[in-house]
Structure 1
Amino acid sequence: MTTYDPASILEGLTAGQVIPYLGPAVLGLDGSTAVPSAPDTLVELITAKVTVPHKIRKNLTAAGQYIENFKHRKTLVGLLNEAFAAPPEPTALHRFLATLPLPLIVDVWYDASMAAALAGRSDFGQVQGVSRSEHFNQWVHYFHADGSAAEETEAAGWKTLLYKPLGSIAPASNFILSDSDYVEVLTEIDIQTPIPERVKEIRTGRNFLFLGCRFRNQLERTYARQIMKRSSDLHWAVLTEEPTRNELRFLAEQNIRRIDVPLGEFAQQLLGGELALQAA
């Protein structure tokens, strides 16, 4: 188990030095959730409504591509809209992060919980990855706090930028999910073209804290690696389950220190430390 100091991580968060990188498992921190909180759950939902070949029924990106090819892109988007239709329910961790002066929050799932937690503020905005099959020659779209469209130049004035690289149901149903969606991004991500300029500016010299994420497949590792590029040389990831060989190699390569405690326990340590700071 990696030795870590929750107080120093909390200090980094409150100073805006540590960037939270949220994965789907964060959704289950306060109990059950009305929207899918894992790729496996999401692919089960969409393949229960549209028949796909058995060999790809558990592969989210391949199943998405099959539906896109044989049932049209609109069918895939409709299924995703259904899957994430329930009103967002921010967890205590989402609400806690929304109180901090964080210049950047990365959220790699399709729900709108983090944006809902930030909704009481007018000084944040979103940038979301978009499918180039729907938005020709575009990589991202920007949105104000109220969900209205924004210009890229406005992002520099936001105190907090919520970066949703895979898109989000809100405010405009943007989803990067199918094989072809990822092919478009992966052909350019090594030279950083799909990464927003403002994200590149903010990440420089900062640390990342991975919460509710895994790095089991190449897509998960590639996105994390490219979003982290040119940041600090030290990061943390809360990973209770035993990492795979590829995950261990990735953690070592990126100097990500594994925090081997349950995510809920770690979140409570952060929230408890914040309460102690407020009482001091």
Structure 2
Amino acid sequence: MSSANNPVPHALIEAFSSGQCVPVLGPGVLSGVTDKQGKNIPADSDSLILAMNNGRPMAPKLMYEFPRAAMNIELKKGRKTVTRFLDTVYRDTDWAPSEFHQQLGQLDLPYIIDMNRDTQLQQAWSNKKHLLVVGVARIGGATERYRLFQYDGTEYQAIEEQDVDTHLPVLFKPVGTPIPESLYIASDADYVDYLTELMGGFGMPAFLKQRRKGLHYLLLGLPLNRDTSRMLINDIIYDAGQPSGWSCTSAGVSNSSEAASVASKETRFLQRQGLEAIPCQPMDCLQQLQTLRAVSA
């Protein structure tokens, strides 16, 4: 079931309608989100680096990826500087509600993975009880690299895994959020620690590792042009069903040899993971799935 006007595959529709397909949100789904002055929310690597450096580009080797730039700032000015920057962007700035997140939040989905640090989906779920799983790094005294919070429809409460209500829908934010606490995976050192423990099985709670078996994934607006994002996805979607899922990024590719090489790496990764690329913008994909899901209900 695929055409120029309807590129959503039938297998995706079935998986989404049955609750077996997990949306994975990347920076592309924040396109068009602005503050009161019309300034776009920093979401992708380049925009985050520029925002962190007062609008000025950093050295080319630091512009390569946000974690590298954040590590440079952390070494020069301390970890609190990076955290303060991310709090200013994602907690203290009044961003307009995202139509994409509002529509996604209205669906009764049991599990969503958000690879961004914003709070749009938490706001969309503000009247919905849920579990929040947040990635953390470089903590002492424990191997687990996550924190658990349970939302009762009014506020979050930190909980231990043995107290989790596993029937609640889950929002997994691997690289952090400012709410209810400022917890971020940001610098190279954070990612090294988090990915190491994620690969070892300590990056997500046991109940979530059990729940994810055989699931399929829909990557929305998530470019896979850097090793960091590919490694995160590789371990987060472990134990996926077959096919693993679908990828819808909307990322443009120039004709440069570097861009061609990046595109080739993304293509090989998708093929290796069993993720089918679909020619559709994230918002268009979501709207089609909403419509087709309603028709099949």
> Which TM-score bucket, shorter chain as reference?
0.7 to 0.9
| Map of 1:222 onto structure 2 | 231
| Map of 2:247 onto structure 1 | 237
* Rounded Cα–Cα distance in structure 2 between residues aligned with 1:228 and 1:53: 34
| Map of 1:33 onto structure 2 | 34
> What is the letter of the counterpart of residue 25 of structure 2?
L
Partner secondary structure for residue 233 of structure 1: coil
Matching of residue 119 in structure 1 with residue 126 in structure 2: yes
* Rounded Cα–Cα distance in structure 2 between residues aligned with 1:158 and 1:87: 32
Give the conservation status (yes or no) of the 8 Å contact 1:105–1:161. Answer: yes
> What is the letter of the counterpart of residue 111 of structure 1?
D
* Rounded Cα–Cα distance in structure 2 between residues aligned with 1:67 and 1:50: 14
Per the TM alignment, residue 150 of structure 1 is displaced from its structure 2 partner at its CA by 1.9
Per the TM alignment, residue 36 of structure 1 is displaced from its structure 2 partner at its CA by 1.4
Per the TM alignment, residue 130 of structure 1 is displaced from its structure 2 partner at its CA by 1.4
* Rounded Cα–Cα distance in structure 2 between residues aligned with 1:82 and 1:36: 11
Per the TM alignment, residue 275 of structure 1 is displaced from its structure 2 partner at its CA by 4.8
| Map of 1:247 onto structure 2 | 266
* Rounded Cα–Cα distance in structure 1 between residues aligned with 2:207 and 2:104: 20
Per the TM alignment, residue 118 of structure 1 is displaced from its structure 2 partner at its CA by 1.1
Structure 1 residues 157 and 60 mapped into 2: Cα distance closer, same or farther (>3 Å)? same
Give the conservation status (yes or no) of the 8 Å contact 1:126–1:164. Answer: yes
* Rounded Cα–Cα distance in structure 1 between residues aligned with 2:61 and 2:248: 32
Per the TM alignment, residue 269 of structure 1 is displaced from its structure 2 partner at its CA by 1.3
Partner secondary structure for residue 156 of structure 2: coil
Structure 1 residues 176 and 104 mapped into 2: Cα distance closer, same or farther (>3 Å)? same
**TM-score (norm: length of structure 1):** 0.87
Matching of residue 106 in structure 1 with residue 109 in structure 2: no
Matching of residue 13 in structure 1 with residue 19 in structure 2: no
How do 1:105-254 and structure 2 match up within 5 A? 105-122=112-129, 124-132=130-138, 137=142, 138-145=144-151, 146-234=155-243, 235-240=245-250, 241-242=252-253, 244-254=263-273
How do 1:59-70 and structure 2 match up within 5 A? 59-70=65-76
| Map of 1:93 onto structure 2 | 100
Which piece of structure 1 moves more, 68-77 or 34-43?
Answer: 34-43
Per the TM alignment, residue 53 of structure 1 is displaced from its structure 2 partner at its CA by 5.2
Per the TM alignment, residue 143 of structure 1 is displaced from its structure 2 partner at its CA by 1.1
Per the TM alignment, residue 239 of structure 1 is displaced from its structure 2 partner at its CA by 3.1
**TM-score (norm: length of structure 2):** 0.83
Per the TM alignment, residue 267 of structure 1 is displaced from its structure 2 partner at its CA by 2.4
* Rounded Cα–Cα distance in structure 1 between residues aligned with 2:141 and 2:176: 15
Matching of residue 260 in structure 1 with residue 279 in structure 2: yes
* Rounded Cα–Cα distance in structure 2 between residues aligned with 1:8 and 1:75: 45
Partner secondary structure for residue 164 of structure 2: helix
> What is the letter of the counterpart of residue 26 of structure 1?
V
Structure 1 residues 88 and 51 mapped into 2: Cα distance closer, same or farther (>3 Å)? closer
- Structure 2: unaligned runs, 5 residues or longer: 36-40, 254-261
May I ask how many residue pairs the two structures share in their alignment? 273
* Rounded Cα–Cα distance in structure 2 between residues aligned with 1:172 and 1:216: 29
Percent identity, please: 28
Task: Tell me which of 88, 102, 105 is aligned to 1:82.
Answer: 88
Per the TM alignment, residue 217 of structure 1 is displaced from its structure 2 partner at its CA by 0.8
* Rounded Cα–Cα distance in structure 1 between residues aligned with 2:286 and 2:224: 20
Give the conservation status (yes or no) of the 8 Å contact 1:188–1:194. Answer: yes
